[in-house]
Amino acid sequence: MELHLYNTLTRKKERFEPLHPPLVGLYVCGPTVYGDAHLGHARPAITFDVLFRYLRGAGYRVRYVRNITDVGHLVDDADEGEDKIARAAKLKALEPMEIAQHYTIGYHRNMEQLNTLPPSIEPLASGHILEQQEMVQKILANGFAYESQGSVYFDVKRYHRHHGYGTLSGRNIDELESNTRTLDGQEEKRDPLDFALWKKAAPGHVMRWSSPWGEGFPGWHLECSCMSRKYLGETFDIHGGGIDLLFPHHECEIAQGIAAHGHASVRYWMHNNMITINGQKMGKSKGNFITLDQLFSGEHALLDQAYSPMTVRFFILQAHYRSPLDFSNDALKAAGKGLERLLAAIDTLDQLSPAGETGTDEVETLARECRAAIDDDLNTPVLLAHLFEGTRLIHSAAAGTRALGAKALERLRGLYRETVFDLLGLQKERTDNRSRLLDSVIDVLMNLRQTARQNRDWATSDRIRDELKKAGIVIKDTKDGYEWHAGNNE
Ligand code: ZN
């Protein structure tokens, strides 16, 4: 294996060597489960899925840990405001764990649609309260935290004097200080840069656990430090996540780990860049917030049409994971066409018959170029460009202007299968026989509904729509007729 990865910590590409081969430890920050999975969730999931597939393909046993944040992530991402999950629960009059469960199931469904492989371990923050308390105690004992009115805060300045804070994000502590609001004297923190390891639960706060410091809950950054150590050991290979987590989340993770154990635990830090929408950051307040269900169904004001999960996957793979990626209908439509061309070429390749004994060198060169691209910090856009170059060879062979011998053909088929399906995780959309049958059954029902409407039999027409919805099929009327998609059968 000649894999080189860009390490955010050293700011350069480094050759990747696992610490304890054949085992590779991979930790990726997972979702906070208080809302539907959206476009922003798809990118880290797909990026690290490709890395997971690559390492497995190279013969390693990968322990891939991706957490579920179900407690402690507060609304303002720092130490103030309500817990995100508790707030969603209050709005819907549900238990916080009902919210977490509901959105975890939805997240898993979307991840499966995107054909990402499930992680080896998916630990919950709420299932590791004891471990988090133990870590707080270690940090306290080492003098890098202090208790204040039932909460425990990390002492950033003291840590900085000993170990240097900001090594991952490159942020300078003096600048951070001038950009942070000053304390108003009422706060529990000694310094505005300090962050919560444990927060005292206010009256009415639902998710609370007893602790040596009174009833409370863990700070958001703590869970990843604890759970990565628990499942991957004191030092492990790769920690990944979106670049939005670089600061403060990952910076705090590093500080917590060193403050508790005296050494850094992560060898390679990897960060995927963000997805923007028509050039803008995605945000609920901007009306450009698109969930994956909406993307797959086309039900959003910004969407011209539905986009299949594989189109979305292909779209994400067309950009390097460290580059920003701008979503637009045009870009998605182009991705859909590109994917179709690639899959059609593979179909053609499957049908080719060998001719002569030539082509082996050319196929070997192509295979080497593909390998070099993915080895170069998972450069999927360059890899795809080589695969498209290869389709010219396939089409020439199909047209009879080039001859490919049996050996070359076998190698070429293996290359496309291993790269497109196994490594990039693309798959043919499920237009199998059963789904074609389902299409025609829905057509029959929709024709019945149309007749009912013409007869002004609204009861029957509504009933057909409602019963389909109960069965998990959502109908959307369009100007040319109707569309359907699988939805929540709530
Ligand atoms: Zn994390």
Do residues 488 and 472 make contact, with C-beta atoms less than 8 angstroms apart? Answer: yes
Reference 151, options 226, 217, 206; nearest CA is: 217
Contacts of 408 (CB under 8 A, 6+ apart): 354, 358, 359, 360, 362, 363
Is residue 373 over pLDDT 50?
yes
Decide which of 272, 303, 320 is a domain's last residue.
Answer: 272
Domain contains 203: yes
Average pLDDT over residues 107-132: 97
Do residues 33 and 103 make contact, with C-beta atoms less than 8 angstroms apart? Answer: yes
Domain contains 428: no
Is residue 53 over pLDDT 80?
yes
Same domain, 365 and 314: yes
CA 422 to centroid of ligand 1, rounded, Å = 27
**Residue type for 282, please?**
M
Domain contains 42: yes
Per-residue confidence (pLDDT) for residue 239, from 0 to 100: 98
Domain that holds residue 299: 277-423
End-to-end C-alpha distance for the chain, whole angstroms: 48
Per-residue confidence (pLDDT) for residue 482, from 0 to 100: 77
Q: What is the pLDDT of residues 135-154, one digit of tens each?
A: 999 999 999 999 999 999 99
**Per-residue confidence at 286, pLDDT binned at 50, 70, 90?**
confident
Q: How far apart are CA 156 and CA 252, in angstroms?
A: 9
Same domain, 333 and 461: no
Average pLDDT over residues 273-298: 90
The continuous run of DSSP H or E covering 432 comes out as none
Ion ligand 1: residues, CB within 5 A, are 29, 224
CA 239 to centroid of ligand 1, rounded, Å = 9
In CATH, what number is assigned to the domain containing residue 374?
A: 1.10.730
Average pLDDT over residues 24-46: 95
Same domain, 413 and 471: no
| Residue found by looking up tokens 């009912």 in the block | 452
Contacts of 295 (CB under 8 A, 6+ apart): 39, 303, 306, 307, 312
Q: How far apart are CA 172 and CA 175, in angstroms?
A: 5
Average pLDDT over residues 188-215: 92
CA 150 to centroid of ligand 1, rounded, Å = 24
Is residue 487 over pLDDT 80?
no
Q: How far apart are CA 106 and CA 14, in angstroms?
A: 36
Same domain, 51 and 25: yes
Per-residue confidence (pLDDT) for residue 273, from 0 to 100: 97
Considering its fold, how many domains does the chain have in total? 3
CA 245 to centroid of ligand 1, rounded, Å = 7
Same domain, 266 and 281: no
CA 122 to centroid of ligand 1, rounded, Å = 12
Q: How far apart are CA 154 and CA 41, in angstroms?
A: 29
Q: Are strands 236-242 and 23-28 parallel, antiparallel or unpaired?
A: parallel
Reference 394, options 342, 318, 429; nearest CA is: 342
**Per-residue confidence at 490, pLDDT binned at 50, 70, 90?**
very low
Per-residue confidence (pLDDT) for residue 142, from 0 to 100: 98
CA 444 to centroid of ligand 1, rounded, Å = 49
CA 403 to centroid of ligand 1, rounded, Å = 52
CA 272 to centroid of ligand 1, rounded, Å = 14
Reference 197, options 67, 65, 34, 72; nearest CA is: 72
CA 382 to centroid of ligand 1, rounded, Å = 30
Same domain, 139 and 258: yes
Domain contains 477: yes
**C-alpha 484: how far from its chain's center?**
26
Decide which of 423, 451, 472 is a domain's last residue.
Answer: 423
Same domain, 137 and 264: yes
Same domain, 197 and 314: no
Q: How far apart are CA 164 and CA 172, in angstroms?
A: 10
CA 431 to centroid of ligand 1, rounded, Å = 37
CA 268 to centroid of ligand 1, rounded, Å = 15
Per-residue confidence (pLDDT) for residue 66, from 0 to 100: 98
Q: For residue 461, what are the CA distances in angstroms to 162, 452, 479?
A: 71, 6, 18
In CATH, what number is assigned to the domain containing residue 106?
A: 3.40.50.620
At 218 the three-state DSSP class reads strand
CA 235 to centroid of ligand 1, rounded, Å = 16
Domain contains 120: yes
**C-alpha 49: how far from its chain's center?**
8
Q: How far apart are CA 260 and CA 483, in angstroms?
A: 55
Domain contains 329: yes
CA 228 to centroid of ligand 1, rounded, Å = 9
**Per-residue confidence at 431, pLDDT binned at 50, 70, 90?**
low
Same domain, 305 and 410: yes
Is residue 476 over pLDDT 90?
no
Do residues 257 and 229 make contact, with C-beta atoms less than 8 angstroms apart? Answer: yes
Q: How far apart are CA 197 and CA 201, in angstroms?
A: 13
**Residue type for 193, please?**
L
CA 186 to centroid of ligand 1, rounded, Å = 30
Residues in the chain: 490
Same domain, 201 and 79: yes
Same domain, 41 and 125: yes
CA 89 to centroid of ligand 1, rounded, Å = 22
CA 17 to centroid of ligand 1, rounded, Å = 23
Same domain, 322 and 438: no
CA 221 to centroid of ligand 1, rounded, Å = 6
Decide which of 250, 272, 294 is a domain's last residue.
Answer: 272
| Residue found by looking up tokens 């192509």 in the block | 366
Higher pLDDT, 371 or 97: 371
CA 220 to centroid of ligand 1, rounded, Å = 8
**Per-residue confidence at 176, pLDDT binned at 50, 70, 90?**
confident
How high does pLDDT run on average in the chain? Answer: 92
Q: How far apart are CA 271 and CA 357, in angstroms?
A: 45
Per-residue confidence (pLDDT) for residue 432, from 0 to 100: 57
Per-residue confidence (pLDDT) for residue 435, from 0 to 100: 67
